[in-house]
Chain A
Amino acid sequence: MSLRISEAVIWQETGEGVSLYNTETGDFHSLNDTGSRIWRLVASDGEREPVMFKLSREFAGSNSAMSRRIVADVEEFLGAMIEQGLIEEIPAEEPAVKEESLS
């Protein structure tokens, strides 16, 4: 399964991290630092594995207990995003979607 940002989401990098607007619901969201980092990785890599890998290397180094915690946290974050329809899971062969941003 690949990950992609929902077409219903308009998002932008701001000084405080990533800000999102869900055009389906009219809701605004701001992500904290870690959430913003995950979001950017989903946007650029579009796959669960590289996202996990990069984050655990970045924050856990070779500490495997830490690495497990990070994987759990990222899963939780992605689960919440998927539940809210902000990120979608798609079968791997479909190409990930382009970034939707304000023109």
Chain B
Amino acid sequence: MSRAVVLGGGLAGVLAAAVLAGHADEVVLVEGDRYPSGPRPRRGLPQSHHSHVLVAGGARALDALLPGTVDALLANGAHLRGLPGDALIYSADGWFHRLHTDAHLISCTRGLLDQVVRRRALGGGDVEVWEDTRALGLTGDEARITGVSVSRQGAPPETVRADLVVDATGRRSQSPRWLAQIGAGEVEEVSVATGLAYATRLYQAPGDLAAAIPAIMLHPGTAKGQPARGATLFPVEDRRWIVTLTGTRGGEPPTDEQGFTAFARSLRHPIVADLMAEATPLGVVRPYRDTVNRRRFFERARLPAGFAVVGDAAVAVNPVHSHGMSVAALGALRLREELARHGLGPSLFAGLQAALAAEAERSWRMAIEQDGERVTERAGERVTERAGERVTERAGLDGAPRREPNAFELEIRTRLAQAKLSSPRLAADFFGVQTLISGDTATDRSEIARVLTGRPEPLLTGEEAIGQYPVLAAWRRSRFAAATS
């Protein structure tokens, strides 16, 4: 009898367990929390109070794993929004035109997403779910994991034998410590601070606007030396909106009623504040601060056979990129491929962790390119400078070391950044990469040459950008009429 034990029943754990059910005689899913009876947040998942959108690459992976899941989400009230075709986006470079691409996101509460996925992944009864059960450590030695120590409903620890243990306990995973306890090698860890804080509140949306509203994203501007402050508003199920305000150090969004409202009002554009004023708050403002990018290089460690790590436990990126759930789904898909190739046996373990890590690579690189001024490598107390340095910025042809970008370079960069706001091909490239449906080399070079030699498209004003969405434009008109009558 082969047995796989998955630790942690968040998205990564549930999907891994569903995949393993096709390959092990017995699959046990160990979850420290109790699952709520409805689509609600839960204690073990503090981030479930905050916006969670599933980007296109993750939606495709989820449907490949559990066919029909995206339709089930939409049938339960989730919304699909094209990027940037159904999204009002004020980026640092300006407002996006309403361009239609393959990129999109699915928006609903994390509670609904988890519930729909759980039902489909675990509903068949092939996975034994132990709720209210905490994983305490691993058993075995540096060569081979033989099981896991757990406590069920507060009872004394018991050992559960396993041929494969998968750690999916999320950002707070104890795996490096557990491995050290059984004499296995050290796990290298890299973290890149974001300084980013979240504050989120749900709203009951007004009638006409509730479900028709585009996704709204106000990104921070480019002012140097200022905290980066932004906001998103996404429609979710049951005619609600979820509003998340974000700010870096010194500009953290407050969690008191008045402060939350004032913060939204002080952003680069008042649209989110105006919409909040139109809606009815549901519950309190929720903070979240553990947004560090953190990667544990399990694939580089001498891992014992019979052990793997998936999801945030291995690679957790700044949530502002909205990648974590998608990477979890892509990782589960890769686990399925590896199991199909090797079965649940010794040949699986040699390359498994590297294969899983490869699925997170793109997302990790994107996140640290944006956040990474400095990378602290804790394992060797080594400090690597500027993880975000682009490979393209090599030394000049005359061999001189790279200096500050000159005016020409700045102009090209600005032109390119602004061109993606109105060029359907560049926007498709940009959002394809952001939503993990294309690789980060998917740049359309001939379009770049075209936009750089042609006349630049004028930037949209806020009014013009909003005017692209009739439902928002009508609401603004009626609001203005009410204010002046």
B124 on interface, CB distance cutoff 8 Å:
no
Given contacts A10-B452, A27-B392, A103-B455, contact A21 B398 (CB under 8 A): no
Q: Mark B375-412, 1 if CB is under 8 A from A, else 0.
A: 00000000000000000111011101000011111011
Instruction: Indicate if the CB atoms of B445 and A24 lie closer than 8 Å.
Output: yes
Contacts of B408 in A (CB 8 A): 12, 14, 19, 21, 28
Given contacts A10-B449, A102-B453, A103-B453, contact A28 B397 (CB under 8 A): no
A-B contact number at CB 8 A = 63
Instruction: Indicate if the CB atoms of B449 and A8 lie closer than 8 Å.
Output: yes
Counting chain B residues whose Cβ lies within 8 A of the other chain, the interface size class is 20 to 34
How near does chain A come to B343, taking the closest CB pair, in angstroms? Answer: 43
Residue of A nearest to B447 (CB): A23
A43 on interface, CB distance cutoff 8 Å:
no
Instruction: Indicate if the CB atoms of A31 and B397 lie closer than 8 Å.
Output: yes
Residue of A nearest to B441 (CB): A26
Instruction: Indicate if the CB atoms of A103 and B454 lie closer than 8 Å.
Output: yes
Spell out B's residues near A (CB within 8 Å): 392-394, 396-398, 400, 405-409, 411-412, 415, 443, 445, 448-449, 452-455
A-B contact sample (20 more), CB < 8 A, given A21-B412, A28-B393? A8-B449, A10-B449, A10-B453, A12-B408, A14-B407, A21-B408, A21-B452, A24-B445, A28-B405, A29-B397, A30-B397, A30-B398, A30-B406, A32-B397, A35-B398, A101-B453, A102-B411, A102-B412, A102-B453, A103-B455
3 closest A-B pairs (Cβ-Cβ)?
A32-B398, A19-B408, A23-B449
- Chain A to chain B contacts (Cβ below 8 Å), 25 pairs: A8-B445, A8-B449, A10-B452, A12-B408, A14-B408, A16-B406, A19-B408, A21-B452, A23-B445, A26-B392, A26-B443, A28-B392, A28-B408, A28-B409, A28-B412, A29-B396, A29-B397, A30-B398, A31-B396, A32-B398, A35-B397, A35-B398, A80-B397, A100-B449, A100-B453
